[in-house]
A and B are shown apart, each in its own frame.
Chain A
């Protein structure tokens, strides 16, 4: 069974469209994340939720809106897509608050978003 699963894996869409990426984890973790990895492989945190509460909201355009209906799900909705949004988006989860005591982050396989 996949621990952190995200869909779709590949997404090609036109500028201006709205799209969503879904994420589910079956590890029983209480913290979930969205990371963005650019073409240079730099991995940057976008959002983090702990027990459905937003705890990290980095400098991300407000066109990006995360939604956590429950502890096991964290979806990412993107409005008015731009060329610069093309990247790989990783969903991840961990048990406990991030950055403390070296909690392991479990990543999904990534969603390759291409905006044309």
Chain B
């Protein structure tokens, strides 16, 4: 069974600080996605990475896919209160089963 463990599980920081969220697995994934979910809403896609070692930037957010396609990280620079939410990574199965496997989630709170 493919599992995705995220760390930390909870994170509370002050506005302006930097942070990194990790998404780790012992399995290889065809692609890796990051979603953000705000209270009362469904997850919304932030980014998709498909190539091992790939780095993508979205304003203050930097996403990296591990070289072996087993892990990923999300780095936020100068966090803002608007970044508050639940961050979920999701791995695409490599073959056989057509599904995304979601990580355990990281709840981020950025204090003004």
Contacts and interface: CB of A to CB of B under 8 A. Distances in A.
Q: Do A and B bind each other?
A: yes
A109 B40 contact: yes
B99 A98 contact: yes
Interface string A32-69: 00010000111111001010000110000000000000
Chief secondary structure at chain B's binding surface: strand
Contact of A99 (B30, B41, B86, B105): B30
Interface residues of B, number: 29
Nearest to B45: A104
23 contacts: A4-B42, A40-B105, A41-B37, A43-B102, A45-B101, A56-B98, A98-B99, A99-B30, A99-B93, A99-B97, A99-B98, A99-B99, A100-B30, A100-B31, A100-B92, A101-B50, A102-B33, A102-B49, A102-B50, A102-B92, A105-B35, A108-B42, A109-B41
Interface of B: 30-33, 35, 37, 40-45, 48-50, 86, 88, 90, 92-93, 97-102, 104-105, 107
